[in-house]
């Protein structure tokens, strides 16, 4: 591998990406950088301006001008950070979410068209090659002066092809390793994920994938519940080596914000008492324990718990 090899690949890949925007309609009426900002805001509820600037490596003045335009166009709202009153946070308005969704739809369509040129049998090789590049370059980047896990590059995004299968695989592997659960649990997760993949309302149901330094390390789902006006939080997962970075908290908060934003009255969930870390997150978010019941599932004796969060302070 030489410097020239990387430069040659960069030129090739830049041309490929440029071809996706043939006619310059993909990001219109925004620039590429403005679209990146909208994407980040859509996937990071209540984004801190300072963190946003660091995340996207943007000049403070440049980002300020972009946000001013967004505010003028009615796409964002600014407020004081709950964590630090000296900081300002940004949230998307309904118009902002609509604009971000349109850009996401265009991007998904363009990438889908690109993938359609790759034979299905070759796509796993392509995915693995991209994963290898990201992993190797991320592992050998110069370390940040800050080494705390909470300072690492964490983003939430929509699932990409293969991510739903990853949710099934990682749930099965982690719960088997940590709690000794058998294949019954994998079957349950597979059914939940398959139901979502085959039939879900994108306006009322959603999945988030958490990435840490470019690799998936967590996930959560928000789906409609059988009870009228209620959504259900499902399959919260954080990889062991990524715990302690606040990822589980961010995933649950994203689910809460989404459910509230689309008009659900309650957010409910079912868990087991052995999952103490997840339970602490639910309690911090204001979930209330409604009922407990012993049961034998997944090859283990467990105590199931039903939790509920009122999304309108009732």
Tokens (6 digits) for 183: 């294949």
Give the model's pLDDT for residue 159. Answer: 92
Q: What is the DSSP string of 140-199?
A: TSPPPS---GGGS-EEEEPPPTTHHHHHHHHHHHHHHHHH---HHHHHHHHHHHHHHHHS
What band does 147 get if pLDDT is binned at 50, 70 and 90?
very low
Give the model's pLDDT for residue 38. Answer: 85
Give the 3-state secondary structure of residue 93.
coil
CATH of domain 148-310: 3.40.630.30
Burial class (CB in 10 A: 0-12, 13-18, 19+), 217: buried
**Span 142-163, mean pLDDT?**
66
Q: What is the DSSP string of 28-65?
A: TTS-HHHHHHHHHHHHSTTEEHHHHHHHHT--HHHHHH
- Write down the architecture of domain 3-117 according to CATH: Orthogonal Bundle (1.10)
29 prior amide bond cis, ω within 30: yes
Report d(CA 212, CA 226) in Å as an integer.
33
**Would you give the DSSP letter of residue 119?**
-
What are the structural domain ranges in the chain?
Answer: 3-117, 148-310
What band does 15 get if pLDDT is binned at 50, 70 and 90?
confident
Give the model's pLDDT for residue 224. Answer: 96
Report d(CA 58, CA 50) in Å as an integer.
10
Give the model's pLDDT for residue 150. Answer: 45
Give the model's pLDDT for residue 109. Answer: 77
pLDDT tens per residue across span 88-134: 788 889 998 888 888 888 777 777 777 788 887 787 777 777 767 76
pLDDT tens per residue across span 162-185: 999 999 999 999 999 889 999 999
- Is the confidence at residue 20, as pLDDT, over 60? no
The pTM score is 0.55
Long-range CB contacts (within 8 A, 24+) of 87-94: 87/48, 87/49, 87/50, 88/48, 88/49, 89/46, 89/47, 89/48, 89/49, 90/41, 90/46, 90/47, 90/48, 90/49, 90/52, 91/41, 91/45, 91/46, 91/47, 92/38, 92/41, 92/42
Give the model's pLDDT for residue 42. Answer: 81
Burial class (CB in 10 A: 0-12, 13-18, 19+), 231: buried
Least confident stretch, 8-12, 273-277, 290-294, 301-305: 8-12
Report d(CA 121, CA 140) in Å as an integer.
31
**Span 226-251, mean pLDDT?**
92
% of the chain beyond a pLDDT of 70: 86
- Is the confidence at residue 69, as pLDDT, over 50? yes
C-alpha closest to that of 207 among 269, 247, 254: 254
- Is the confidence at residue 35, as pLDDT, over 70? yes
What band does 23 get if pLDDT is binned at 50, 70 and 90?
very low
């Amino acid at each position: 591998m030489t410097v020239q090899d990387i430069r040659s690949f960069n030129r090739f890949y830049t041309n490929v990406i440029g071809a996706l925007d043939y006619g310059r309609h993909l990001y219109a009426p925004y620039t590429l950088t403005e679209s990146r900002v909208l994407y980040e805001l859509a996937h990071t509820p209540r984004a801190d301006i300072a963190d946003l600037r660091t995340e996207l490596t943007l000049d403070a003045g440049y980002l300020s001008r972009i946000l001013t335009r967004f505010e003028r166009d009615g796409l964002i709202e600014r407020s004081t950070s709950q964590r630090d009153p000296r900081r300002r946070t940004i949230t998307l308005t309904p118009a902002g979410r609509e604009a971000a969704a349109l850009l996401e739809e265009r991007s998904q369509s363009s990438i889908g068209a690109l993938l359609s040129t790759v034979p299905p049998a070759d796509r796993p090789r392509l995915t693995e090659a991209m994963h290898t590049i990201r992993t190797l370059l991320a592992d050998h980047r110069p370390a940040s002066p800050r080494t705390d896990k909470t300072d690492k590059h964490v983003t939430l995004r929509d699932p990409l092809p293969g991510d739903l299968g990853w949710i099934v695989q990682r749930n099965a592997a982690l719960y088997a390793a940590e709690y000794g659960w058998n294949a019954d649990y994998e079957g349950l997760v597979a059914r939940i994920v398959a139901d979502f993949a085959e039939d879900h309302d994108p306006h009322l149901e959603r999945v988030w994938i958490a990435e840490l330094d470019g690799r998936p390390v967590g996930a959560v789902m928000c789906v409609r519940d059988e009870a009228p006006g209620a959504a259900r939080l499902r399959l919260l997962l954080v990889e062991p080596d990524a715990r302690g970075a606040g990822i589980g908290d961010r995933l649950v908060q994203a689910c809460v914000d989404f459910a509230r934003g689309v008009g659900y009255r309650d957010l409910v969930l079912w868990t087991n008492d052995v999952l103490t870390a997840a339970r602490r997150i639910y309690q911090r978010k204001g979930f209330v324990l409604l009922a407990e019941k012993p049961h034998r599932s997944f090859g283990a004796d467990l105590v199931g718990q039903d939790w509920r969060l009122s999304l309108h302070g009732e």
